[in-house]
């Protein structure tokens, strides 16, 4: 008999300090912009892309199974989402499941907070589990998951991205999906062991390509490759969320052997705890970082303004780092994209070739951080106007067509500034090349990003300088007004103790 599989996407990385609202309409981030995609539309948008759900689609085809894809909801990182988005996703998924379904394959983020619930994925999975207590459920999660009991207790198999920038999304869906197929076929009996440490890892320090995560992940990958366990994943956590269950975590899926799963789990996390100091990022003043960049030989020098990264819920319009670049008179610079629809409209009205003075950026206040938006007065020539569309050529979201809203380029003589109507973290050179700027030929490339720029820009970088600008993604975690975080937590509380069970 033909099996029937259901698949769905629900992804939002919630920065609880962000002033950027998250309306339901924004959950069509990839594809339509008027809310979640459904059915054939969802399939058209996600098939053959580098996303977990694309692997699920391929697995279903390989298995000769019927596939139902009721909903794909995916929004850019921003403030807590309306509870309604969970209702929409849960209703669509539960309806499809109730029509008859042999297994569910979910592509979730893992760091979603709604206005109603501090654990969006746990809320969703709990609702599905309530109507389908025995349904096999595979879940693919982002590396920035804040893992919770509600997520783990209501899933059968969980696997997480092992890269940051995330370039193994398809592979993650494939890992989770294939384990679930083996379980369906009666070949394996997945059991999961998980744990979350009281450690806020720094986002500039926790990538699996860096230590100590590299050594930790080597253990997970070795065990999974050798077949000792079915899946092993480590989550760096998403630390820009004022909720209790933030923390460095890991999950191991083993074939019936819970003790074996726990041994690997505690071995990995014990190393993370012992080396927790390596997850701390030292913050230095913006002036110092820019003057260090100024002294570097050769280029491009990538200036990474990571305190205001829309990829983590930032406004993408905090001007402090560009202001310092102009003040220290750096030359042959491209910068952006800065999100400022008002300035884009002014440049379009002025037209290409016009000289114009703008009050650029700084339009959004950040009340949770007690920061006001500060526009930057800047004069230049409107160099180019675009519709903001380009196709990703780099390794992250390869082949996906992006639209970042209309764009305009302001040329000050020394700095070419890309201004866009929409928010976009520059992980691909397309944001510049589509506007006629070749970042490879610039001495300096100023980007508002944290880690994902590495996908598209690291190959052309001579130097990379991390700049700790202000914003809702500040690298100084002591600036966040924490209220709900579990305490003590390292490094905010340097004396925090490990909560790992003592091993016998
Ligand atoms: Zn992530």
> Could you give the CA distance from residue 467 to residue 285 in angstroms, rounded to a whole number?
8
Q: What's the confidence (pLDDT) of residue 243?
A: 98
Centre of ligand 1 to C-alpha 237, Å, is 9
Tens of pLDDT, residue by residue over 220-243, are 999 999 999 999 999 999 999 999
Tens of pLDDT, residue by residue over 82-117, are 999 999 999 999 999 999 999 999 999 999 999 999
- Asked if residues 243 and 207 have their Cβ atoms less than 8 Å apart, the reply is no
Centre of ligand 1 to C-alpha 235, Å, is 9
Centre of ligand 1 to C-alpha 147, Å, is 13
Q: Is the pLDDT of residue 32 over 50?
A: no
Centre of ligand 1 to C-alpha 388, Å, is 24
CB atoms within 10 A of CB 158: 29
Tens of pLDDT, residue by residue over 425-478, are 999 999 999 999 999 999 999 999 998 899 899 999 999 999 999 999 999 999
CA angle 290, 452, 433 (to 5 degrees): 80
CB atoms within 10 A of CB 185: 9
Q: Is the pLDDT of residue 349 over 50?
A: yes
Tens of pLDDT, residue by residue over 270-285, are 999 999 999 999 999 9
Tens of pLDDT, residue by residue over 161-211, are 999 988 899 999 999 999 999 999 999 999 999 999 999 999 999 999 999
Centre of ligand 1 to C-alpha 397, Å, is 13
> Could you give the CA distance from residue 217 to residue 215 in angstroms, rounded to a whole number?
5
**What are the residues whose beta carbons fall under 8 Å from the beta carbon of 223, sequence distance 6 or more?**
229, 232, 252, 264
Centre of ligand 1 to C-alpha 130, Å, is 28
Q: What's the confidence (pLDDT) of residue 400?
A: 81
Tens of pLDDT, residue by residue over 34-61, are 799 999 999 998 999 899 999 999 999 9
Q: What's the confidence (pLDDT) of residue 212?
A: 98
Centre of ligand 1 to C-alpha 296, Å, is 31
Q: Which of 94, 66, 113 shows the shortest CA–CA distance to 8? A: 94
Q: Is the pLDDT of residue 379 over 80?
A: yes
Centre of ligand 1 to C-alpha 236, Å, is 9
Q: Is the pLDDT of residue 298 over 70?
A: yes
Centre of ligand 1 to C-alpha 452, Å, is 9
Centre of ligand 1 to C-alpha 314, Å, is 14
Tens of pLDDT, residue by residue over 475-503, are 999 999 999 999 999 999 999 999 999 75
- Asked if residues 383 and 417 have their Cβ atoms less than 8 Å apart, the reply is no
| DSSP code of residue 455 | H
What is the DSSP code string of 198-210? Answer: SB---TTT--TTS
Q: Which of 427, 428, 423 shows the shortest CA–CA distance to 407? A: 423
Centre of ligand 1 to C-alpha 499, Å, is 25
Q: What's the confidence (pLDDT) of residue 1?
A: 84
pLDDT-derived band at 350 (thresholds 50, 70, 90) equals very high
Q: Is the pLDDT of residue 33 over 70?
A: no
pLDDT-derived band at 29 (thresholds 50, 70, 90) equals low
Q: What's the confidence (pLDDT) of residue 30?
A: 57
pLDDT-derived band at 135 (thresholds 50, 70, 90) equals very high
Q: What's the confidence (pLDDT) of residue 195?
A: 98
Q: What's the confidence (pLDDT) of residue 76?
A: 87
Which segments of 185-257 does DSSP mark as H helices, in order? 213-226
Averaged pLDDT score across all residues of the chain: 95
- Report in angstroms the alpha-carbon separations of 376 from 324, 390, 426, 448: 11, 28, 21, 16
Centre of ligand 1 to C-alpha 318, Å, is 22
Centre of ligand 1 to C-alpha 160, Å, is 10
- Asked if residues 392 and 431 have their Cβ atoms less than 8 Å apart, the reply is no
Centre of ligand 1 to C-alpha 351, Å, is 38
> Which segment of 6-15, 84-93, 255-264, 397-406 scores lowest on mean pLDDT?
397-406
> Could you give the CA distance from residue 51 to residue 106 in angstroms, rounded to a whole number?
11
Q: Is the pLDDT of residue 399 over 90?
A: no
What is the DSSP code string of 418-430? Answer: EEESS-----STH
Ordered by where they begin, the domains of the chain are: 4-279 (3.40.50.2300), 286-475 (no CATH)
Q: What's the confidence (pLDDT) of residue 397?
A: 78
- The total number of residues written for the chain in this structure: 504
**Model pTM?**
0.91
Centre of ligand 1 to C-alpha 109, Å, is 8
Centre of ligand 1 to C-alpha 12, Å, is 10
């Amino acid at each position: 008999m033909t099996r029937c599989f259901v698949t769905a996407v629900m992804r939002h990385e919630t920065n609880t300090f962000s002033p950027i609202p998250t309306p339901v309409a924004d959950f069509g981030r990839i594809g339509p912009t008027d809310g979640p995609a459904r059915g054939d539309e969802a399939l058209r948008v996600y098939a053959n892309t580098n996303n977990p759900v694309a692997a699920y689609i391929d697995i279903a085809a390989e298995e000769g199974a019927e596939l139902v894809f009721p909903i794909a909801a995916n929004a850019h990182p921003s403030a807590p989402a309306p509870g309604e988005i969970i209702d929409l996703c849960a209703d669509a998924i539960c309806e499809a499941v109730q029509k008859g379904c042999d297994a569910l394959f979910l592509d979730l983020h893992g760091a979603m907070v709604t206005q109603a619930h501090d654990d969006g994925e746990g809320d969703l999975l709990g609702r599905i589990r309530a109507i389908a207590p025995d349904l096999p459920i595979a879940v693919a999660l982002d590396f920035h998951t804040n893992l919770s009991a509600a997520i783990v207790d209501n899933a059968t198999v969980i696997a997480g991205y092992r890269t940051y920038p995330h370039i193994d999304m398809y592979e993650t869906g494939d890992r989770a999906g294939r384990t679930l197929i083996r379980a369906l076929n009666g070949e394996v009996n997945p059991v999961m062991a998980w744990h979350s440490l009281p450690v806020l890892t720094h986002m500039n320090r926790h990538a699996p390509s860096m230590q100590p995560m590299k050594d930790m992940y080597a253990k997970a990958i070795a065990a999974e490759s050798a077949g000792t366990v079915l899946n092993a994943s480590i989550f760096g956590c998403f630390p820009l969320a004022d909720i209790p269950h933030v923390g460095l975590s890991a999950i191991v899926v083993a074939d019936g052997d819970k003790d074996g799963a726990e041994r690997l789990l505690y071995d990995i996390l014990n190393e993370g705890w012992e080396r927790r100091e390596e997850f701390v990022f030292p913050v230095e003043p913006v002036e110092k970082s820019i003057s260090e960049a100024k002294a570097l030989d050769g280029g491009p020098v990538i200036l990474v303004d990571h305190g205001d990264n829309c990829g983590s819920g930032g406004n993408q319009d905090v001007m402090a780092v560009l202001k310092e670049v102009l003040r220290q008179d750096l030359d042959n610079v491209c910068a952006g994209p800065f999100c400022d629809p008002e300035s884009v409209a002014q440049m379009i009205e002025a037209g290409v070739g016009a000289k114009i003075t703008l009050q650029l950026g700084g339009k959004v206040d950040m009340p949770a951080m007690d920061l006001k938006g500060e526009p930057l007065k800047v004069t230049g020539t409107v160099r180019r106007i675009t519709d903001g569309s380009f196709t990703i050529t780099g390794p992250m979201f390869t082949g996906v067509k992006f639209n970042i809203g209309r764009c305009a380029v302001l040329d000050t003589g020394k700095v070419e500034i890309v201004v866009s109507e929409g928010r976009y973290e520059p992980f691909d050179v397309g944001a510049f090349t589509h506007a006629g700027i070749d970042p490879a030929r610039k001495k300096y490339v100023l980007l508002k990003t944290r880690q994902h720029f590495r996908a598209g820009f690291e190959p052309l970088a001579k130097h990379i300088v991390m700049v700790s600008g202000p914003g809702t993604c500040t690298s100084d975690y002591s600036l966040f007004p924490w209220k709900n975080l579990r305490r003590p937590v390292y490094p905010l509380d340097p004396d925090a103790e490990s909560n790992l069970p003592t091993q016998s």
